């Protein structure tokens, strides 16, 4: 087994118990699997259910915990009720994560758990991520970063472990689809969620639908451009029917954090 993984297992064992912020994605699934291996029943999964996370992600998180016999707590949170979140400032992620991880820490304490951990990896250091400030302020651990895992390494070891998420597309909360400063509402979140479901149902794997007012900007992997063009009229009609005035395709293609490209930051 990978030496980084073995080192991480030992570090997790030293905690005695840990609550993993579990989204059901590639990174947190890998971390939770390691926590279960290291600590057995002293590993707890905590999942936040909210309007910025599609319901299928919650279902997959539940299924994984059941299959691995991992104790799982689901907390309901409405980010739109968090002061300042809906205004969508450039530090929106900090505002949200400070609230959510404070809740996860509370859940961990109520269940006698010593530490809280989350699934950021080394590649996450290359983008503007104000949420990491909140994580550091709250003393939440990032075992994947500490062990030196990149995203690809996580996928590789996940495949070795037989995890169903090893080739799962990367995902970020739906709030990340909006241009900074645009008001986030439940209606808009539902609209973008439906737009992305249309692409998912059409067979696309890795994508984003970014929202700029009444414009939907679709990011796809370059190798999927030809497929998009073949389905152009059908997809245009379906997504426009959700209430968008314009539906466009970004020629640069899919990339994480594209909404951060227009802001200046010292990270």
Active-site residues, by number, are 173
Task: Give which of 110, 132, 97, 117 is closest to 45, Cα–Cα.
Answer: 117
| Residue 63 phi, psi dihedral angles, 5° rounding | -65, -40
Three-class secondary structure of residue 201 per DSSP: helix
Task: Give which of 221, 187, 189 is closest to 206, Cα–Cα.
Answer: 221
User: Do residues 207 and 196 touch, judged by C-beta distance below 8 A?
Assistant: yes
* Diameter of the chain measured on Cα atoms: 56
Burial of 252 from C-beta contacts in 10 A (0-12 / 13-18 / 19+): exposed
């Amino acid at each position: 087994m990978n030496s980084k993984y073995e080192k991480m297992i030992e570090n997790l064992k030293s905690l005695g118990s840990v609550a993993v912020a579990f989204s059901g994605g590639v990174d947190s699934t890998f971390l939770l699997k390691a926590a279960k291996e290291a600590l057995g029943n002293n590993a707890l999964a905590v999942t936040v259910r909210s309007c910025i996370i599609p319901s299928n992600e919650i279902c997959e998180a539940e299924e994984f915990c059941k299959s691995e016999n991992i104790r799982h707590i689901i907390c309901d949170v409405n980010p739109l009720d968090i002061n300042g979140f809906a205004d969508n400032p450039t530090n929106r992620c900090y505002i949200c994560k400070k609230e959510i991880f404070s809740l996860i820490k509370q859940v961990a304490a109520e269940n006698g758990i010593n530490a809280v951990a989350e699934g950021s990896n080394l590649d996450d250091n290359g983008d503007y991520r104000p949420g990491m400030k909140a994580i550091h302020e709250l003393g939440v651990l990032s075992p994947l970063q500490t062990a030196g895992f990149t995203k690809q390494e996580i996928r590789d070891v996940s495949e070795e472990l037989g995890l169903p998420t090893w080739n799962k597309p990367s995902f970020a909360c739906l709030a990340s689809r909006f241009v900074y400063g645009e008001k986030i509402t439940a209606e808009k979140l539902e609209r973008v969620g439906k737009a992305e479901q249309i692409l998912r149902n059409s067979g696309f794997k890795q994508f984003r639908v970014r929202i700029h007012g009444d414009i939907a900007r679709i990011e796809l992997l370059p190798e999927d451009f030809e497929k998009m063009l073949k389905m152009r009229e059908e997809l245009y009609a379906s997504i426009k029917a959700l209430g968008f005035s314009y539906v466009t395709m970004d020629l640069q293609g899919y990339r994480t954090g594209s909404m951060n490209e227009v802001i200046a930051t010292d990270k």
